[in-house]
Amino acid sequence: MRADATRNLERVLSTGARMLADDPSATIAAIAAAAGVDRRTVYRRFASREDLMAAVYTARYDAVEEAVEAARLREAPVAVALHRYVEGIIAVNRKWPVETSRMLREATISERRRRLVDEVGVFLRRATDEGLLRSDLPPGWAATVLSPLMEHAAEDLSELSAAQAADVVVDTLLRGVGTPGAPQQR
């Protein structure tokens, strides 16, 4: 693909992700106009709005896989890998703000997600085994709370860079939201 065609495709997909997150009924013509390309260009590439959405989902998951790979969850020290992972996923959530429940109904995305969930699960067990995370929590609890923390940070901490938002998420995951030394109810 030519460099300008690649840039146009990237612009259409990222614009489509943002517009569809704001308005799930956004049309291909509106997305093309916002991306600054002719709608015929988009229709040549995507036969339907569903095809465009599938391409957006695929691009998002490509970015998620790249973020997981860049975090080096198996090789890097756990604290470093955790921060890299969180920062990468926050950046992906900001660039590709699609409604994920609909995305997960796509069969190819579902399988890719399962592999990534498994890889992150292995990493979080490693983080527990190495003492970064508590071992007395129910299995999978860290993953359960980490995902929405990253989603909220991407949306609600938009004034912070992805790295700064990752600092907040990692600190919240590791230390909670209570004040140090606050009495605990049992």
Counting every residue written for the chain, the total comes to 186
| Per-residue pLDDT at 54 | 84
Contact 93, 155 (CB under 8 A): yes
Indicate whether this model's pTM tops 0.75. Answer: yes
Q: What is the pLDDT of residues 98-153, one digit of tens each?
A: 776 666 666 777 888 889 999 999 999 999 999 999 999 999 999 999 999 999 99
**The three-state (H, E, C) secondary structure of 7-23, written as one string:** HHHHHHHHHHHHHHHHC
Distance CA(74)–CA(82), nearest Å, equals 11
